Amino acid sequence: MPTPKFKPGQSGNPAGRPKDKTPATLLRKAIADDMPDVVRKLVELAKEGDVQAAKVLLDRICPPLRPQAIPVTVEKGATLPESGGNVVAATLSGEIPPDIGAMLIRALAEQGKLIELQEMADRLQRLEKLLEART
């Protein structure tokens, strides 16, 4: 086994990169130093009607709302297509929002794929047993 170049716990470059001297750190510091003036100017411009300045301020103060999950009730059908039909009907009638309806339809489609895969696996297992019995 070859010997390592450096002892464990010992840096290969003890001087290393100087802390707080990277371009990104220096830029952040410069921005932070001027931030009160920048914010004051943005507020001034926004009050004068500058829509972009107002947008920058609002985006920082009031970030966009994220969608909230709401509970919905849809009648379960005897089959997946029947359940899907109930979701579509509930969506079209306004009982559930369109985005929730679309998510439910996708979930039903994925469930259908899982059922198909399980049925194929079961069928394959039965066929393998039949082939084993013949030999």
Compute the distance between CA of residue 71 and CA of residue 68 in angstroms, rounded to an integer: 10
Q: Any residues with CB less than 8 A from the CB of 42 and at least 6 apart, and which?
A: 53, 56, 57
Burial of 91 (0-12, 13-18, 19+ CB in 10 A): buried
pLDDT, tens only, 27-79: 888 888 888 998 899 999 999 999 999 999 988 888 777 777 778 889 999 99
Residue with more model confidence, 98 or 64: 98
Q: What is the CA radius of gyration of the chain?
A: 31
pTM to 2 decimal places = 0.49
Query: Does residue 14 register a pLDDT over 80?
Result: no
Q: Which amino acid is at 38?
A: V
As to burial, measured by CB atoms within 10 angstroms (0-12 exposed, 13-18 middle, 19+ buried), residue 86 is: middle
Q: Which residues contact 38 (CB under 8 A, 6 or more apart)?
A: 31
Mean pLDDT of 7-23: 75
Unique residue bearing structure tokens 């909230």: 68
